[in-house]
C-alpha cells in the first residue's frame, strides 16, 4: 500500500512547494483534512494527493495521472480537466463549483475549489484542487425541494381549500380560554391560501383574501368554533356550517383546522375547507327517498314505524292512539281500464285528500305501497274519534276523481286499531288494523274497528267461543241493573239490564269481550232471548211489588236484522203480562247504520208492540240526527266518552249541548250515559238534558241489590 506521507516527500516536486517539502507539519495538516486535496502541475498531471484522496480512490495510484484518469465517473471529466488547465492559464481561481459523479453508490456531489499556486517568484506553477463531499447536504436539499414541490402541487391540486392563518403576535396558550378566543379573533390574519379558497369565496385572486382577519371568513358560529378549537387542544375536525356564496346561494362547508404551538405560543393555524353542498344535497335527497314514497310524496312505512314506536314509548297513561289502515277497493280495475298513469294520478290526488283530512287533527299520513295507505293518530279524545275520522275519510275517498278529463269513483275499506285498548306495540297495532281492514272489506262495512271477536287468530276468541255455548245452558249468565234517573224530578224511572258472564275458571268477563264473539256465532240469538226473558221477568216482578219502572235492554246488530225478534218480544210481553211501554230496546247507532233500510223495517215492527226504542252510544257512529228522526226512536243516549270529559273538554261540552238542543228540536229525549259526579249531573240539568245514567247515581247491581237500592235509595221512584 502506498503511504501518502512518503509520497509527499518523494514526489512533491513543485518548486514553490519545495520550501515546504520537508515540512512535516504541512503533511499532517493536509492529511488531517476532510477534503480531498489534489495538486496538479502545469501539465495537468497530479503531483500530490492527500490521505483523503487515496481513501476516496480506494488507495489506487494517483500520482502522474490526470483528472480524466482518476475520475472517469465524474460528469464530463474532460471538461473538468480543461477547467483545471484554464485556472492555470488564467491564474484565476474557480471556487465552489458544484460537480456530480456517478459513483457505485449512486449520485455523489462535490464542491470543488480550483486554486492556482505560485512559486516564490509569483509565477503560477500548478493548481490545487480541493474537493469537499457534499453528497449528504445536496441530497437533503434535493429532498426538501422535492417535498416542497410535492406540497405545492398538493395544495394547488387539492379538492379542498387549504389556508393558513398567522397569529401576530403569537398567543400564550396558558391564558384563560375566553381570552385566547378573543385574541385569536383579533390577531388571526389569513397568510396563505390556495386557488380553491379563492373560488369558494368567489373573489378574483388570493390577494383579495390574504391579509383579511379571521372574522371575515363568514362562519356564523365563529366564536363558538374557536372556543371548541382552543378547548380541543387547538384542533377542529369536520366542523359543518352554512355560508352564503357571492350570489346569495346557501353553501354547506366543512372545515378542519390544526394550530401550531411553539414554546407555549399559538403561532399559526393550518386548515382545510371543503364544499360539501352537493354531498349534503345528495344526502338530503337520499334521506328523503328513504323516507318517502316517490309517487305521492307522502312518508313511507319506515317513517310510520319509527313515529309509532316513539309515540307508543312516550305515551301518557290517559293518551289514546289509533292506526287506520286504508285499502282501496277494486283499484286494479282503475289501472286496467284507465291505465297505470291514470292510476298513479288517482293515488297522488288521494294522498293530497288524505293529507288535507288531517288539517285539524294531529296525525301522520303514509303510503304503505300499492293502494294501501295508513294514518296514525297519536292523540285521540276517545276511541270513537278514530272511527268518525275513518268515516269522514271514506266520504272523502268516494268523491269523484278527475283524471285526464275522465271522472272515476273509488271505494275503500278502513281498519282501525286503538291503543291502549287493543294493542300496545307497533306490530300488534299493524296486525290488528289489518285484521279490522280485512273485516271491513269482506263485510263491505267500509270501516271496522278491531275486535278480537273477528280476529281468527285471537286465542282469547277461540277459548271464549267454546265456553259461551255452555254459559247459557249452565246458567253462568246474570243480569245487572243500572238505574236511570229523570233529571227534571231527580227520580228513578227505569233500569238498564246489562249482561254479565261469570265464568267458573276465567272469572268475571266484561260484556264487551264476549258479546262481539256471540254476535259472530249463532249464540247471539239465544243469548239475547235469555236477556229479554229475564229482563221482562224482573220488570214484572218489580211491577208486582208496586215499582212501576221501565226495563231497557240492549240489542245487537244481528238481533235487529233477525225477523224473529219482534215475534219473540210479542210472545214474552204477553207471557209476562208486561205493557210494551215499560220495555225499551237500546240499539247502537252503528247497528242502525250497517243496513239502514232493514233496520228501519225491524224498528217499525218493534215499535208497533208499543216498545220504546233508543239509540245507544250516540255520537260514536256516523248517523245524522235528521236521518234518525225518520226512525221510530224516541230517545238518544249520548255516549259516555263525551259526557265523562265534558267539564274538562270544551269540544265535548259543545257536542253534548248541541246534541241535546238538536234532539229536542226533533222531538227526541236525551239520556246522558257515564255520569260520574254531581258536577256533571248538575251541568246536565243546566243544559236541559232529560235523563241520566251513571256511577254517580248507581252502578249496575245484581237483581236483589238493585231491588234493595230501589227501596232504600234517596232517588225516589218517578210518578207515572
Would you tell me which residues interact with ligand C2E (CB under 6 A)? 482, 498-499, 510-512, 515, 531, 554-556, 586, 616-617, 640, 673-676, 693-695, 700
Q: Give all strands (DSSP E) within 63-122, no chain letters.
A: 94-103, 106-118
Beta-sheet pairing, 36-41 with 124-133: antiparallel
Which member of 584, 616, 652, 691 binds Mg ion (CB under 5 A)? Answer: 616
> Least distance from C-beta 495 to ligand C2E, angstroms?
12
Which member of 455, 519, 617, 652 binds Mg ion (CB under 5 A)? Answer: 617
Does residue 556 contact residue 519 with C-beta atoms inside 8 Å?
Answer: yes
Place of cell 381549500: 161
Q: Which is nearer to Mg ion, 68 or 388 (CB)?
A: 388
Segment contacting Mg ion by CB under 5 A, of 352-360, 456-464, 586-594, 647-655: 586-594
Does residue 193 contact residue 166 with C-beta atoms inside 8 Å?
Answer: no
> Least distance from C-beta 405 to ligand C2E, angstroms?
49
Q: What span, in angstroms and rounded, lies between the C-alpha atoms of 9 and 22? A: 7
Q: Which is nearer to ligand C2E, 430 or 479 (CB)?
A: 479
Whose CA is closest to 617, among 443, 384, 422?
384
Q: Which is nearer to ligand C2E, 4 or 694 (CB)?
A: 694
Q: Which does 656 bind (CB under 5 to 8 A by kind): ligand C2E, Mg ion, none?
A: none
> Least distance from C-beta 609 to Mg ion, angstroms?
19
Q: Which is nearer to Mg ion, 540 or 637 (CB)?
A: 637
Q: Which is nearer to ligand C2E, 203 or 465 (CB)?
A: 465
> Least distance from C-beta 612 to Mg ion, angstroms?
13
> Least distance from C-beta 580 to ligand C2E, angstroms?
19
Cβ neighbour number for residue 34 with a 10 Å cutoff: 7
> Least distance from C-beta 477 to ligand C2E, angstroms?
9
- Long-range contacts, stretch 605-610, CB < 8 angstroms, 24+ apart: 605/566, 606/565, 606/566, 606/569, 607/632, 608/566, 609/566, 609/569, 609/570, 609/573, 609/580, 610/579, 610/580, 610/581
Alpha carbon of residue 340 to chain centroid: 32
Q: What span, in angstroms and rounded, lies between the C-alpha atoms of 647 and 309? A: 32
Alpha carbon of residue 69 to chain centroid: 82
Q: Which does 384 bind (CB under 5 to 8 A by kind): ligand C2E, Mg ion, none?
A: none
> Least distance from C-beta 675 to Mg ion, angstroms?
12
Q: Which is nearer to ligand C2E, 109 or 450 (CB)?
A: 450
> Least distance from C-beta 479 to Mg ion, angstroms?
12
Q: Which does 652 bind (CB under 5 to 8 A by kind): ligand C2E, Mg ion, none?
A: none
Cβ neighbour number for residue 399 with a 10 Å cutoff: 10
User: Three-class SS of residue 149?
Assistant: helix
> Least distance from C-beta 555 to ligand C2E, angstroms?
6
Does residue 613 contact residue 648 with C-beta atoms inside 8 Å?
Answer: no
Which member of 160, 434, 584, 586 binds Mg ion (CB under 5 A)? Answer: 586
Q: Which does 225 bind (CB under 5 to 8 A by kind): ligand C2E, Mg ion, none?
A: none
Residue 144, C-alpha cell as written in the block: 426538501
> Least distance from C-beta 388 to ligand C2E, angstroms?
17
Whose CA is closest to 181, among 235, 224, 213?
224
Segment contacting Mg ion by CB under 5 A, of 88-96, 126-134, 420-428, 667-675: 667-675
Q: Is 554 in the site for Mg ion (CB under 5 A)?
A: yes
Q: Which is nearer to Mg ion, 99 or 673 (CB)?
A: 673
Q: Which is nearer to ligand C2E, 126 or 700 (CB)?
A: 700
Segment contacting Mg ion by CB under 5 A, of 63-71, 137-145, 461-469, 670-678: 670-678
Q: Which is nearer to ligand C2E, 485 or 582 (CB)?
A: 485
Q: Is 691 in the site for Mg ion (CB under 5 A)?
A: no
Q: Which is nearer to ligand C2E, 236 or 479 (CB)?
A: 479
Find all residues with CB under 8 Å of 62, minimum gap 6, and list them: 38, 46, 49, 53, 54, 70
> Least distance from C-beta 221 to ligand C2E, angstroms?
55
DSSP 112: E
Q: What span, in angstroms and rounded, lies between the C-alpha atoms of 333 and 347? A: 14
Q: Is 519 in the site for Mg ion (CB under 5 A)?
A: no
Q: Which does 694 bind (CB under 5 to 8 A by kind): ligand C2E, Mg ion, none?
A: ligand C2E
Closest CB to ligand C2E: residue number: 694
Residue 663, C-alpha cell as written in the block: 234532539
Q: Which does 695 bind (CB under 5 to 8 A by kind): Mg ion, ligand C2E, none?
A: ligand C2E
**Is 264 exposed, middle or buried, given 0-12, 13-18 or 19+ CB atoms closer than 10 A?**
exposed
> Least distance from C-beta 498 to Mg ion, angstroms?
7
Find all residues with CB under 8 Å of 415, minimum gap 6, and list them: 324, 325, 327, 432, 433, 434, 435, 436, 437, 438, 439, 440, 448, 450
Q: Which is nearer to ligand C2E, 181 or 517 (CB)?
A: 517
Q: Which is nearer to ligand C2E, 162 or 553 (CB)?
A: 553
Q: Which is nearer to Mg ion, 373 or 514 (CB)?
A: 514
> Strands across the sheet with 250-262, in order?
188-193, 161-172, 265-275, 250-262, 235-244
Segment contacting Mg ion by CB under 5 A, of 43-51, 80-88, 576-584, 609-617: 609-617
DSSP 666: T
Does residue 73 contact residue 85 with C-beta atoms inside 8 Å?
Answer: no
Residue 211, C-alpha cell as written in the block: 391579509
Does residue 371 contact residue 351 with C-beta atoms inside 8 Å?
Answer: no
User: Total residues at the site for Mg ion (CB under 5 A)?
Assistant: 5
How many helices (H) and strands (E) would you count in the chain?
28, 27
Binding site for Mg ion (CB under 5 A): 554, 586, 616-617, 673
Amino acid at each position: 500500500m502506498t503511504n501518502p506521507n512518503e509520497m509527499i516527500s518523494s514526489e512533491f516536486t513543485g518548486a514553490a512547494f519545495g520550501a515546504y517539502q520537508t515540512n512535516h507539519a504541512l503533511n499532517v495538516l493536509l492529511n488531517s483534512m476532510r477534503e480531498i486535496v489534489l495538486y496538479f502541475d502545469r501539465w495537468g498531471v497530479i503531483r500530490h494527493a492527500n490521505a483523503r484522496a487515496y481513501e476516496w480512490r480506494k488507495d489506487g495510484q494517483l500520482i502522474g495521472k490526470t483528472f480524466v484518469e482518476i475520475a472517469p465517473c465524474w460528469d464530463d471529466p474532460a471538461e473538468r480537466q480543461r477547467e483545471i488547465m484554464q485556472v492555470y492559464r488564467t491564474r484565476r481561481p474557480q471556487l465552489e463549483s458544484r460537480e456530480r459523479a456517478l459513483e457505485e453508490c449512486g449520485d455523489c456531489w462535490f464542491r470543488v475549489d480550483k486554486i492556482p499556486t505560485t512559486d516564490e517568484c509569483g509565477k503560477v506553477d500548478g493548481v490545487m484542487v480541493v474537493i469537499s463531499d457534499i453528497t449528504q447536504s445536496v441530497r437533503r436539499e434535493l429532498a426538501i425541494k422535492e417535498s416542497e414541490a410535492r406540497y405545492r402541487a398538493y395544495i394547488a391540486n387539492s379538492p379542498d381549500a387549504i389556508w393558513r392563518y398567522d397569529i401576530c403576535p403569537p398567543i400564550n396558550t396558558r391564558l384563560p380560554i375566553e381570552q385566547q378566543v378573543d385574541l385569536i379573533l383579533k390577531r388571526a390574519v389569513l397568510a396563505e391560501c390556495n386557488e380553491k379558497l379563492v373560488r369558494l369565496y368567489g373573489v378574483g385572486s388570493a390577494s383579495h383574501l390574504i391579509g383579511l382577519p379571521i372574522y371575515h371568513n363568514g362562519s356564523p358560529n365563529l366564536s363558538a368554533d374557536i372556543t371548541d378549537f382552543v378547548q380541543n387542544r387547538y384542533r377542529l375536525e369536520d366542523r359543518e356550517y352554512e355560508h352564503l356564496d357571492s350570489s346569495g346561494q346557501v353553501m354547506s362547508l366543512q372545515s378542519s383546522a390544526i394550530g401550531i404551538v411553539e414554546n407555549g405560543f399559538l403561532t399559526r393555524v393550518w386548515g382545510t375547507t371543503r364544499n360539501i353542498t352537493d354531498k349534503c344535497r345528495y344526502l338530503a335527497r337520499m334521506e328523503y327517498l328513504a323516507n318517502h314514497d316517490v309517487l305521492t310524496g307522502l312518508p313511507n312505512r319506515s317513517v310510520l314505524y319509527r313515529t309509532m314506536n316513539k309515540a307508543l314509548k312516550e305515551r301518557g297513561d290517559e293518551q289514546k292512539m289509533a292506526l287506520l289502515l286504508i285499502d282501496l277497493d277494486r283499484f286494479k280495475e282503475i289501472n286496467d281500464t284507465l291505465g297505470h298513469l291514470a292510476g298513479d294520478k288517482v293515488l297522488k290526488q288521494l294522498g293530497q285528500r288524505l293529507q288535507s283530512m288531517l288539517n285539524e287533527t294531529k296525525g301522520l299520513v303514509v303510503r304503505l305501497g300499492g293502494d294501501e295507505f295508513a294514518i296514525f293518530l297519536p292523540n285521540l279524545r276517545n276511541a270513537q274519534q278514530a272511527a268518525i275520522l275513518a268515516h269522514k275519510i271514506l266520504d272523502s275517498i268516494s268523491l269523484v276523481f278527475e283524471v285526464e278529463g275522465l271522472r272515476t269513483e273509488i271505494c275503500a275499506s278502513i281498519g282501525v286499531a286503538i291503543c291502549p285498548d287493543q294493542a300496545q306495540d307497533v306490530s300488534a297495532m299493524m296486525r290488528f288494523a289489518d285484521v279490522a281492514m280485512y273485516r271491513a272489506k269482506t263485510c263491505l262495512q267500509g270501516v271496522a274497528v278491531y275486535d278480537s271477536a273477528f280476529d281468527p287468530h285471537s286465542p282469547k276468541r277461540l277459548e271464549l267461543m267454546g265456553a259461551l255455548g255452555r254459559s247459557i245452558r249452565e246458567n253462568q249468565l246474570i243480569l245487572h241493573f243500572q238505574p236511570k234517573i229523570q233529571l227534571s224530578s231527580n227520580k228513578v224511572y227505569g233500569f238498564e239490564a246489562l249482561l254479565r258472564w261469570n265464568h267458573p275458571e276465567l272469572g268475571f268477563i266484561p260484556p264487551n269481550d264476549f258479546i262481539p264473539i256471540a254476535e259472530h256465532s249463532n249464540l247471539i240469538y239465544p243469548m239475547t232471548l235469555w236477556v229479554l226473558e229475564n229482563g221482562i221477568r224482573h220488570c214484572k216482578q218489580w211491577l208486582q211489588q208496586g215499582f212501576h219502572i221501565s226495563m231497557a235492554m240492549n240489542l245487537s246488530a244481528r238481533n235487529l236484522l233477525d225477523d224473529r225478534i219482534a215475534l219473540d218480544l210479542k210472545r214474552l210481553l204477553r207471557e209476562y203480562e208486561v205493557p210494551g211501554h215499560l220495555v225499551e230496546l237500546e240499539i247502537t247507532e252503528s247497528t242502525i247504520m250497517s243496513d239502514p233500510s232493514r233496520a228501519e223495517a225491524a224498528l217499525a215492527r218493534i215499535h208497533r208492540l208499543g216498545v220504546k226504542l233508543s239509540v245507544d252510544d250516540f255520537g260514536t257512529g256516523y248517523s245524522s240526527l235528521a236521518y234518525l228522526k225518520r226512525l221510530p226512536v224516541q230517545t238518544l243516549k249520548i255516549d259516555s266518552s263525551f259526557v265523562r270529559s265534558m267539564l274538562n273538554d270544551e269540544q265535548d261540552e259543545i257536542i253534548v249541548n248541541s246534541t241535546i238542543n238538536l234532539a229536542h228540536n226533533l222531538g227526541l229525549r236525551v239520556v246522558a250515559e257515564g255520569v260520574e259526579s254531581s258536577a256533571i249531573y248538575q251541568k246536565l240539568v243546566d243544559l236541559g238534558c232529560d235523563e241520566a245514567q251513571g256511577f254517580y247515581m248507581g252502578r249496575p247491581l245484581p237483581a236483589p241489590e238493585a231491588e234493595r237500592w230501589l227501596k232504600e235509595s234517596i232517588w225516589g221512584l218517578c210518578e207515572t
